[in-house]
Amino acid sequence: MPLTAARKPAPEQGLGAMTGKRYIESLKDGREVWIDGKRVDDVTVHPAFKPMIDELARVYDLQNSPKYRDAMTCIDPESGQRISVSWMFPRSEVDLKKKRKNSELWNEFTWGQLGRSPDILAPYIISALHLKEAFSAVKHPRCDFGENLVNYYRHCARNDLFLTHALGDPQVDRSEQTQNEQRKVREDEEVALHVVEETADGVIISGGKQLSTAASHSNECYVALSATFAKRNDPKCVLAFAIPTASKGLKILAREPVSRWIGSWGHPLQMLDEQDCMLFFDHVLVPWDRLFMLYDPTPMVRMLGAGGGSVNFNFLGWSNLCRAYTRMTLMTAVATMVAKAIGVYEYREVAAKLGEMVTYCQVWEHAMDGVEHAAGPTPNGQWTLGTGRGLHIWFAQISGRMTELLREICGSGIIMQPSENDLANPEIRKYLDKYMRGKDVDVEYKSRLFRLAHDLAASSFGMRQDIYEYWHGGDPNRNRINLMRSYDQSEMMGRITDLLKEPLAHGEVD
Ligand SMILES: Cc1cc2nc3c(=O)[nH]c(=O)nc-3n(C[C@H](O)[C@H](O)[C@H](O)COP(=O)(O)OP(=O)(O)OC[C@H]3O[C@@H](n4cnc5c(N)ncnc54)[C@H](O)[C@@H]3O)c2cc1C
């Protein structure tokens, strides 16, 4: 069993919980990032990446500050080092509560806008650990995949590394999939990531991955297969591994930034553009000790519970649940403040829309209590939350609804607001004070509030967040189908079958 008290500590001592300075320095490593037709020399100073990187550096510093150190870091019992709670292996209910608090803080600091923060990606590796034996059961003469996973976890935890992850194939031609037989994935070797050859040092791989949020400013790329597509016809396309983001031959294409007006009072969220990237692997070496799966998808299928197998979809744990909650409560509070700022708060229709938003927040609170209540240990001693599988799918659908409600409550004010420079210009300011103020609030307050709503529900940043919420967990329709196929309805169906055999006997009591 991995990570029990009996295990001998691995020799590697890391650098401990990440600091802001160390994080920024770690990104100056020659990585090959492209944006808008140009190669980026240094992501830490490029305007498309710097604001996000600086924000993360700020949070890394907070986790080491006297105020948050005890909540966001802990002592790793194996190495004795102080590590981030995001990388803590939870061994008890108390540990899970600590992880919740840490995730709440990460999301408080980043306003629930980072779908792929370091705190969200660490659990991908931690949750795989409980299947260490399954990974080891797939044999290869060059390495033990399960041991690789455990060692990789230690390396990440002790150095507090920031991972990105990439699961999907490039969106080139999906026509070989059918509605019901999703295993028949198109396996054009020029497109899907595949092994080119084995060498003494590792495997050489080529192919693309769509897509990988935050790859541009991550330390490591964790690459695997998505739940439904872990089974392939061609074993060469079956692999899971993690390599440094600066690996030779790995080319990262970042999309156009969705943020404008960075640093403006009125657009506080736009510095949280976490970037989305394509990954192109051109004969990249994956060392043997960085491979977790090769040619045989069994462990990944078990881990992700694809197609209704064993379900462990709570792998995202607290981080994603807390993030969704912060995002929901933020949108609801902004909508409420907007309604008050223009005097529509008392109208029945508006109040009902706000009530609908509050309902979603409260259902989420109940659900978080529920997954906490259903928490328990896995056979290797890892404490894990109860399943949140349906919850993640549901969020894909209500997130869009919340955006819609916020837009409806705002009316045209969500787009028609003066800028900070307009506010600062005395010549025009007198008109703004008169015609663009709100109910009992001045134009400065009102325009900043509405521009925050614009960040959330109308800007290119807000639209990207909305699209992210819909797709990031995989195709919601496919997820619903997988959930439906694994959902046990036998008891009720049995009762109905009995009912169909014999009519209800009205008024008869045994
Ligand atoms: C902003 C954003 C960030 C993301 N970040 C990450 C990340 O960090 N890491 C990562 O691994 N992934 C990430 N993803 C990818 C995400 O997991 C995928 O978008 C999702 O799995 C859907 O796949 P796709 O985009 O290739 O769409 P497609 O699968 O190409 O779907 C396109 C359309 O075709 C339909 N369709 C496709 N196949 C079928 C079929 N067999 N039968 C019927 N209809 C079908 C779909 O329902 C959809 O309407 C991100 C996505 C977004 C939008």
Q: What is the pLDDT of residues 72-120, one digit of tens each?
A: 999 999 999 999 999 999 999 999 999 999 999 999 999 999 999 999 9
Ligand 1 centroid to Cα of residue 302, in Å, is: 21
The CA-atom distances, in angstroms, between 336 and each of 206, 277, 427, 448 are 50, 35, 32, 15
Mean pLDDT by 10 residues, the chain (510 residues): 45 89 98 98 96 96 98 96 96 94 97 95 90 92 96 97 95 70 56 95 97 97 84 88 98 93 76 95 98 91 53 66 96 98 98 98 95 88 87 92 98 96 96 98 97 95 96 91 92 95 70
CA distance 374 to 386: 4
Is the CB–ligand 1 distance for residue 180 below 6 Å? Answer: no
Is the CB–ligand 1 distance for residue 166 below 6 Å? Answer: yes
What digits encode the pLDDT tens for the residues 491-503? 999 999 999 998 7
Tokens of 158: 């002790």
Instruction: Dump the DSSP string for 103-116.
Output: HHHHHHHTTT--TT
| Token pair 């400065």: residue | 444
| Number of other CB atoms surrounding residue 44 within 10 Å | 18
Phi, psi of 255 (to 5 degrees): -75, 170
Q: Where are the domains of the chain?
A: 20-304, 313-491
Predicted pLDDT of residue 174: 81
Residue nearest to atom 19 of ligand 1 (CA): 471
CA atoms within 13 A on the CB side of 193: 32
Phi, psi of 221 (to 5 degrees): -110, 120
Predicted pLDDT of residue 44: 98
Predicted pLDDT of residue 230: 78
Is the CB–ligand 1 distance for residue 213 below 6 Å? Answer: yes
Predicted pLDDT of residue 188: 66
Per CATH, which fold does 20-304 belong to?
Butyryl-CoA Dehydrogenase, subunit A; domain 2 (2.40.110)
How do 239-244 and 291-294 pair as beta strands? antiparallel
Residues sharing a CB contact under 8 Å with residue 288, sequence separation 6 or more, in sequence order: 142, 143, 148, 201, 202, 203
CA distance 227 to 234: 17
Helix (H) or strand (E) holding 352: helix 348-373
Is the CB–ligand 1 distance for residue 179 below 6 Å? Answer: yes
Tokens of 418: 């003066």
Ligand 1 centroid to Cα of residue 474, in Å, is: 6
CA distance 326 to 358: 13
Tokens of 263: 């640093």
CB contact at 8 A, 282 and 470:
no
| Mutation probe of ligand 1 site: the residue of 169, 475, 477 with most atoms within 8 A of C-beta | 475
Is the CB–ligand 1 distance for residue 468 below 6 Å? Answer: yes
Helix (H) or strand (E) holding 327: helix 317-341
CA distance 283 to 209: 14
Is the CB–ligand 1 distance for residue 475 below 6 Å? Answer: yes
Dihedral (CA of 185, 186, 189, 192) sign: negative
From the CA of 169, give the closest atom in ligand 1. 26
CA distance 212 to 398: 24
**Type of residue numbered 45:** V
From the CA of 116, give the closest atom in ligand 1. 8
Is the CB–ligand 1 distance for residue 155 below 6 Å? Answer: no
Residue nearest to atom 45 of ligand 1 (CA): 179
Dihedral (CA of 214, 215, 220, 226) sign: positive
The secondary structure of the chain in percent helix, strand, coil, rounded to multiples of 5, reads: 50, 15, 35
| Mutation probe of ligand 1 site: the residue of 117, 276, 472 with most atoms within 8 A of C-beta | 472
| Domain 313-491, CATH class in plain words | mainly alpha
Ligand 1 centroid to Cα of residue 106, in Å, is: 26
Predicted pLDDT of residue 486: 87
Ligand 1 centroid to Cα of residue 307, in Å, is: 17
Ligand 1 centroid to Cα of residue 229, in Å, is: 12
Is the CB–ligand 1 distance for residue 425 below 6 Å? Answer: no
Predicted pLDDT of residue 5: 42
Is the CB–ligand 1 distance for residue 276 below 6 Å? Answer: yes
pTM: 0.93
Predicted pLDDT of residue 189: 67
Q: What residues does 334 pair with on adjacent strands?
A: none
CA distance 149 to 207: 23
